[in-house]
Structure 1
Amino acid sequence: MLMSKEVIVTEPHKFEVREVPRPEAAGDYDVLVKMKACGVCGSDVHNYLGENPCASYPRIPGHENAGVVEAVGSKVTRVKQGDHVVLDLVVACGECYQCKIGRYNVCEHVRARGSSIDGGWREYFVVPENQCYVISPEIPWKDAALVEPFAIGGHCTGRGRVVPEDTVLILGAGTIGAIILQTCKAKGVKTVICCDINDSSLERAKTYGADYVINTKNEDLALRVQDITGGHGVTCAFDSACFPGSLTSLFAPGIMANAGRVVSLGFCTAPEQISSAMLDQRELDLIGSRMSAYQFEPTIERFEQHAFNLEGIATHFIPFSRIGEVFDKIEHPDPSVKKMVILFDEEDM
């Protein structure tokens, strides 16, 4: 019997590496994927630490999945053996109101890989063909694993109705913040402001096209925004920092322009201090954004066109054979670790 390895978070702060029988593409529409790369998302970190309200245990983490098709079911037409693919993380019913209006990412019965169902931190796994998207073999595996987070950038900027005339503020210049920045620039936005408390993240944001950076540890955000915008405020803001109070902070006087949009991306469970007056006096839109819908294909197209600067988005590449290093870096955070990617073949390092 052929065997394969998988990583399971059994409960917060505990994981195991298990050897199990290799799965097969037994169903008509099954696709067996040999994993090649998987990004480590902030949600994987929170799952391991017991901080994600959507997580359940035991669970195989990982939703930023890329691999090669090993075998397919008898009725699969979307992909074939040998194709390079990236995998959608959303499992949706296709029948509910949300699915029927194109919002399958918040399906009434939605399940997300790596949190409510098992993800890709394993050598082989089976997915339905409708979750597979072919990507050019010219894209290195370490980059293919970044398609999913860039799909989030496409989705949340769509939710925020971003247009070139906007002045955008991004709170939090980590991985997702850097991706939102690049997505805004790809959509033609002329002014993007990034703020963070980490100077290295802000310096990186400059290389990705940030027009202004603000270290909120040293500078007053509202005063700087007023200065940059000539007193008008920003028209669209993204909370990709997602700490207690971060969302409320964007409603401080001087930051948002009247009729502006605030997009929230986090699962922080701490109550915020937002009043109806803070929304209604300026007629602001507060918009939730979760994962992505219908963004894999356009994101892959942009990857194949080299539309994004992927250098430095992931900073640490760790072989699957040394998976313990991933959990060690989660337990002992290092500001230099912006994002990790797990590579299943050491020749891809």
Structure 2
Amino acid sequence: MKAFQVKAPHDYQVAEVDPPKVAAGEALVRVAFAGICGSDMHIIHGDNAFVRFPRITGHEFAGVVEAVGEGVADVAVGDRVCIDPVISCGECYPCRIGRPNVCSSLEVIGVHRDGGFEEFVAVPAANVHHLPEHIGLDAAALVEPYTIAANVLDRMQPHPGDRLMILGAGVIGLTILQMALAKGIEEVIVTDVINERLVAAKQLGATQVFNSREQDVEKEVLALTQGEGVPLIADAACVPALLPQMLRLASPAGRIGLLGFSVQPSELVQLEVIKKELTLVGSRLNNRKFPEVLKLMASGQLDPLALVSHRLPLSDMPSAIDMLDHRPEEARKVLIQISA
């Protein structure tokens, strides 16, 4: 079968590989669609500290169950499904307190074990989520990015009337925007350096957008909030140098959600944190958010296909990577069609 395999940083190709075997407790899924994520790009570039090579990447995918292993009762051949990539042990401290997404022995499909950029993938049956009838397999491949958004918003604990600021209008920034609106946050500020992304954010419901390369974002946001600052700030830009600005723009008692995996240090002025009693929270992957996202998607409160700019066959993965590397303004979510 065909798969997109990363053998080592900057060494990747669409290749013929052996089909996976289905173990007890697993389901074999014929992958229909898979989305390219920024973390896939980090793996390709050697910037992901967690990956084990060689690796078939892809953690955003949906398809149809082809076979099930011994002991699987709740998943059947022919089921239309999407997959939660988070595999946890269920026994360590994070798992015991309901935080399996930071399990001490965490595995992520597409990072620690092979993922969705292949014709067939074997996954734990416990990670399979059935699709409501009218959610297409293309839309279902985008459930996982929305779980990232749901997770960071949950970590920031919004209060009624809170205003949200999102740094970065890439795909994750736009999923946070849609999720925030679905959860009842009425005012959302979005910043980016690419105007095409800001246009998309405005179309999807952002109340204010600012190009941080062309405008003084601090001046604009503080004027907009009468000097108070913003209660909720989500860092979807994932640029360590932006943390001091986030601290200055956060309101007293504000919460800042961090999503980046950079190993570069950020400058943190402790006075800014203490005088406002700010809360900085990390958010990794998702903590059992698939049912919530599927429910919102089924109700029409989320529009995943609005994020899709390109649909390409698996054979075009190298050209898609080149576009995302060198012409990011041309792309939002790139969806790879693997089977019909």
TM-score by length of 2: 0.96
> Do 1:318 and 1:325's aligned partners in 2 also have CA atoms closer than 8 Å?
no
Q: Which amino acid in the other structure matches residue 66 of structure 2?
A: E
Q: Structure 2 stretches of 5 or more lacking a match?
A: none
| Equivalent in 270, 276, 279 of residue 264 of structure 2 | 270
Partner of 1:312: 306
| Equivalent in 6, 11, 15 of residue 8 of structure 2 | 11
Q: Deviations over 1:303-331 (max 9, x none)?
A: 11111123431211111133332233244
| Equivalent in 92, 102, 108 of residue 98 of structure 2 | 102
| Equivalent in 144, 160, 164 of residue 156 of structure 2 | 160
Q: Structure 1 stretches of 5 or more lacking a match?
A: none
Structure number with higher relative contact order (C-alpha < 8 Å, ≥ 6 residues apart): 2
Aligned length: 340
Q: Distance in 1 between matches of 2:133 and 2:58?
A: 22
Partner of 1:190: 186
Q: Distance in 1 between matches of 2:304 and 2:87?
A: 27
Call closer, same or farther: CA 1:265–1:66 in 2, change over 3 Å. Answer: same
Q: Distance in 2 between matches of 1:47 and 1:246?
A: 23
Call closer, same or farther: CA 1:50–1:23 in 2, change over 3 Å. Answer: closer
Please report how far the alpha carbon of residue 137 of structure 1 lies from its aligned counterpart in structure 2 after TM superposition.
4.2
Q: Which amino acid in the other structure matches residue 217 of structure 1?
A: R
2:55 matches 1:85: no
Q: Which amino acid in the other structure matches residue 23 of structure 1?
A: P
Partner of 2:232: 236
Q: Distance in 1 between matches of 2:303 and 2:126?
A: 28
Q: Secondary structure at the residue paired with 1:250?
A: helix
Q: Deviations over 1:90-142 (max 9, x none)?
A: 11111001011111000011121222222111111111110100012422222
- Identity between Structure 1 and Structure 2 (%): 37
Partner of 1:124: 120
Q: Distance in 2 between matches of 1:103 and 1:205?
A: 31
Q: Distance in 1 between matches of 2:235 and 2:256?
A: 8
Q: Distance in 1 between matches of 2:111 and 2:64?
A: 23
> Do 1:321 and 1:344's aligned partners in 2 also have CA atoms closer than 8 Å?
no
> Do 1:320 and 1:344's aligned partners in 2 also have CA atoms closer than 8 Å?
yes
Q: Distance in 2 between matches of 1:83 and 1:136?
A: 11
| Equivalent in 71, 77, 81 of residue 67 of structure 2 | 71
Q: Deviations over 1:213-233 (max 9, x none)?
A: 111111111111111112211
Partner of 1:247: 243
> Do 1:151 and 1:299's aligned partners in 2 also have CA atoms closer than 8 Å?
yes
Partner of 1:37: 33
